[in-house]
Amino acid sequence: MKSNKLEDMSYKQLVKILDALMAEYIKKKYEIKPGLSQCYTCKKRLPTSEVQIGHYIPRRYHITRFDERNVRPQCAGCNGFRSGSWLKFRYYLTEEIGEEEVKDLETKALMYGEKHAIKEWLSYEINRYREMNNR
């Protein structure tokens, strides 16, 4: 019988859960109105159910993967087919949060590379996003 306790889950399972919880939170946070969202990079409006979660710094960099400054809603075209439209993403992110914050994200990714987060931190973040999504 499989355990549903976070401490008994694998790293991969924890990342999958946190990805889903963060996606739910980001989609709600950036909705224009209930059920309607806008792509961060091309500004196309689309149903929230069709929104993908885009990352300025790629997801493989776990130090910034779950950093809310790095994550915004995107359409499938920008996020997938145009590889995140990272130049536009950086431009708009700089306008929104400032050059210093964007450089902080970039520095974190450079310093820590693709190292994985620890399981205890992932569990903490899962619980935090569960709470925020249930407000």
Q: Which residue type is seen at 28?
A: K
- This prediction has a pTM of 0.85
pLDDT < 70 positions in the chain? 1-3, 113
Q: 9-17 long-range CB contacts below 8 Å, 24 or more apart?
A: 9/119, 11/116, 11/119, 11/122, 14/119, 14/122, 14/123, 14/126, 15/62, 15/122, 17/126
pLDDT given at position 81: 77
Residue 88 pLDDT: 95
Q: Which residue has the tokens 């899962």?
A: 126
**Positive or negative torsion for Cα 26, 35, 39, 82:** positive
For residues 119 and 14, is the Cβ–Cβ distance under 8 A? yes
Angle of CA points 64, 47, 125, to nearest 5°: 30
pLDDT for position 2: 57
Q: How high is the pLDDT of residue 1? A: 44
**Per-residue pLDDT at 3:** 59
